[in-house]
Structure 1
Amino acid sequence: MDLSSISEELAEIDGQITDLFRSLSNGFQKLEKVKDVSRQSRQLEELTEKMRECKRLIKEFDREVKEMENRNDPNTNKMLNEKKQSMVKELNSYVALKKQHQANLENNKRVDLFDGPNEGFGEENVLLASSMTNQQLIDHGNQMMDETDEVIERSKKVVHDTINVGTETAAALKAQTEQMSRIVNELDSIHFSVRKASKLVKEIGRQVATDKCIMALLFLIVIGVIVIIIVKLVHPNNKDIRDIPGLAPPAMSRRLLWNPS
């Protein structure tokens, strides 16, 4: 069924959601071909923003459907609800894709963090060892072990600090996400109220225009009556307005004949 035959607003919202779904599909296909971690992160943020916009439009579509529910027949309401469920299902599929790419992105970042430039070290160590005595090799081995222990301790501290920072960042992001979600819901409600107020103003404008027409007609009637009264006073013998109730000339008083006997 064509949504434009039911409501132009529903058809417009459906078109915007369809465009966003097409853009999300193309975006995730391109994301799989990107190898750079920073580019992946930027593209994933752009796709997340599009999903937020899509969620807002689906909520607006649902509000319009509920508002029209009493005016539509049961089959139309069933079709609209199935359309909304299909939109929600498709959006959830993109949300799952986003979580999967986000997890892969986090794994790639951890690998880049702990990998280091180790090329050429083995050959250099072999050359050094060939020119050392046994005691020097032992001392050098102990020194390397001490340095390794220090590196491990520093790495543990870095990991611990990173975990703390990550925990704090996650808590802050969660709070900001909840705040943004509340703001988006409030903006949606304000936008919906503004549209309803605009419709109400149009209805009031039409009623005022109708009242003005009625007042103008009454004014013309009053003017006509006043003109007739003036004409009658100026020309009392005018036959054209003689029969108007209340404007006819006064009847001549009859004289009673009384014959006293």
Structure 2
Amino acid sequence: MDPLSAVSVELAELDGRITDIFRALSNGFQKLEKIKDSSRQSRQLEELTDKMRECKRLIKEFDREAKEEESRNTADTNRMLSEKKQSMIKELNSYVALKKQYAGNLENKRADLFDGPGDEEGPGEQNVLLASSMTNQQLMDTGNRMMDDTDQAIERSKKVVQDTINVGAETAAALKAQTEQMSRIVNELDSIHFSIKKASQLVKEIGRQVATDRCIMALLFLIVIGVIAIIIVKIVNPHNKDIRDIPGLGPPAARRLLWDQK
């Protein structure tokens, strides 16, 4: 027979919810052992911390409900509820100690970024052993103090993670700006290369045109020189038979003879 069958539905429901959280914490810490990345470990510890806070709240609610029903329960039932509550507190403290140990490991990994608090010797196992000799209030106070310490460690870890994210974002922005600048430089180099290519083609065309013009000018110059040479020869030696038949360059006497024949 289930011992909680003699208590109210509220207490049985609280016990079931607390048991579910303990199962989730056990699975969460098993998953945490397989995670190697510090950032993911920090996020996993945050999730586990939220579950521990919820579990602590439910244990307080369980204790309050048990005290309200204490007058209506038998002595055996009240003793069973007290032992159940103490067992819950011990189990929660064991998870708190385990979380503190993981948080301390993260602190050691980031020792170059911030100063982590020194861990107590044997934090997990030692706290579990001492829990059996503590009263309920001492257990609650110890659990609260340990959770406060681990919360501070998690906050420092979160700050480091956020700083890392900010540095990564700034680096990504700088790389993006440099990439855009390099892209603009490549585009400008392409434009310059295209302009140089067009200028080279234009220079070649101008060179060919100038060469053609020079050839034409040289030919015209030779023609002019030849004409001048013929004129000079005709003037110097008007009876030269080699140039007598050139139109317009015949001797004056021949031209007068032609007029006289008319």
TM-score, normalised relative to structure 2: 0.43
Larger Rg: 2
TM-score, normalised relative to structure 1: 0.43
